Structure 1
Amino acid sequence: MTKPLALTIGEPAGIGPDIAIAAWLRRRADGLPPFYLIGDVDFMRDRAKALGATVAFAQVTAEQAVATFADVLPVLPTGHPVTARPGHPDATSAPAAIAAIRQAVADVNAGRAAAVVTNPIAKSVLYRAGFTHPGHTEFLAELAARDGVTPMPVMMLWSPDLAVVPVTIHLALRDAITTLTSDLIVATCRIVAADLKRHFGLSDPRLAIAGLNPHAGEDGSLGSEDQTIVAPAIEVLRREGISVRGPLPADTMFHAAARRTYDCAIGMYHDQALIPIKTLAFDDGVNVTLGLPFIRTSPDHGTAFDIAGTGRANPSSLIAALRLAARMAGQAAA
């Protein structure tokens, strides 16, 4: 039986509500899988009116979402009313965003939803409300903890042309270098390989591992880290039967011919991995969290407060995130 996707409202003052509405309006043209939005139905009606969008809404349970999706945009309430205006977060923003994430995870864990799809949050807004996690990913990992064990989440940015994973993520460059270890590279690549098999149907995923330094260190003349940190990790992974190459010069890894030789590129730090994919797939890249016991995808962009409520937000990345979540869960489109 088809289960719906649980879509969070994200930051209500951002473009999350806008692109949710736009995606639902394209449900037939784009063959979207059924989803329900977790949020405030009255707020969503007001946002649709502000956008000039003709949308019917219904307050539903997760179990009712599939049956109603063709005719209405199903909304599951969290009990947190929202009063934020487009571009202007207020005191209702953080409770609504956090409650939606919690509900989405609870629905997937209970078998009511197939996957979690999250709209963008505004971390600064959450921090002011006492949120203690660096972002979505770490909060989801905490919600996934079992018996005191918190899984290690891995961020993958995916598009049909390129998939990338940064080993270190939101760190200053000097901190990324000091944080990088062979063990961290190995642990990250194990999760990537396992989830590419489990959710993407790849029997033998091919990983291309970038060097940290220019030209992968030029045999140590441009830094020793590729010899002392990256190469030993690659040897461990090879002994475990994981298909890996590297350390490779990052400046020659991302042209079209090179991309055909691997399934996922592993970068050592944030920009090394994310600049290529955001250049190639800025509008339709998808943020995927690997290593969790449930599927989570998200649009690869932020809240865009400056265009919230204007009708100018592009739903392409959310549509891609919904499609990929359904694909990973083995779900059919509506």
Structure 2
Amino acid sequence: MSQRTKQPAAIWRGMAALGMIGALVGCSGLDTGSTSPDTDSTTAGPSQRAERTAEKVVQVSEVHPETGMTLIEGPTFGPDGGLFVVDVTAPPGDPKVLKVDVDGQTVEGIYTNETSAFTSAQFSPQDGRLYLTDFVGGKIESITAEGTDPKTFFSGDVEGTSTKLDDLAFDEAGHLFVSDTTGHDGPASEVQGRIVRIDKDTAQPTVLARDLPAPNGISFTEDFKALWVSQYSENRIDYLGLSEDKTRVETSHPGVQVNGGKSQIDSNAVDESGNIYQAFHGQPSIYVYSPQGELLSTVSVPADDAEGLTSATNVAIKPGTSEAYMTVSGPDGGFVYSFEALGTGIRQSNGG
């Protein structure tokens, strides 16, 4: 989940009702009115950017009485073309992983369990299984595309500290790169977030970056040489240049400063041209930035829909196409909306 929708304390108040957690990620006290991020010196001015309106595809979920909300996250296309999503706040017994037929506009629940709050999903290039980050359990689980054979791939502390695993990205070899939002719901002075690499064969974790302000979204650049990391608590997207073997961060700097107003940045994705698709918690919009930090486009739901939708937490572009789909949630329920991407979808566009 990236803390986006998954992160809100409101979500976690709902989860607390299930005895799971007090606050997932920092949405507590957040006014969820639609607020468009302003532009600054790193972005194009409002007159230069292209504003797009997304089209509703299908409703995926309704607000759960047990948790008082629903939060759809982690869109990723499977090998058969189905769009898989997770419902972060689904209670036990309700589907926590769902498969959406975007053409037929149908939804099928394929997996649930008793305790997990899944915040992201992505298919591994190594074994073809669907990997899910469990924010409250501090683990990574995998299932088949049919929702069967659940396995725990990783669990436990990292360097002696518990984790709040949010978003996930795979490199070409199948190693996992995960945002750990530890410290997200603590005092602003306690900056404890991390980026963790988990070996595909041994599940051994290695901390690549630490003392980060609640990292949420994580995507490889189009050439797999670096990571774009969305820092939820500071509304900036950092650029982390990696070593050739991707076991170290060699350079890092703030790449895009985002003026989000009352909204905060959530998950992200990257297209073939290197453009960054940044999702938001606090408004049902996606902002598209060039690799140089220029704001190229904004994508929002229709005005008539916006009142009952408070977040667009994640986005996936179908590989080989410009068909983009964003997960949108709020008091009206959880939805998938579509729009035309600026560039072609690749692995870095598909899940996390």
Task: With the length of structure 2 as denominator, give the TM-score of the two structures.
Answer: 0.30
Structure with the largest fraction of strand: 2
Work out which of the two has the higher radius of gyration on C-alpha atoms and give 1 or 2.
1
Task: With the length of structure 1 as denominator, give the TM-score of the two structures.
Answer: 0.31
Structure with the largest fraction of helix: 1
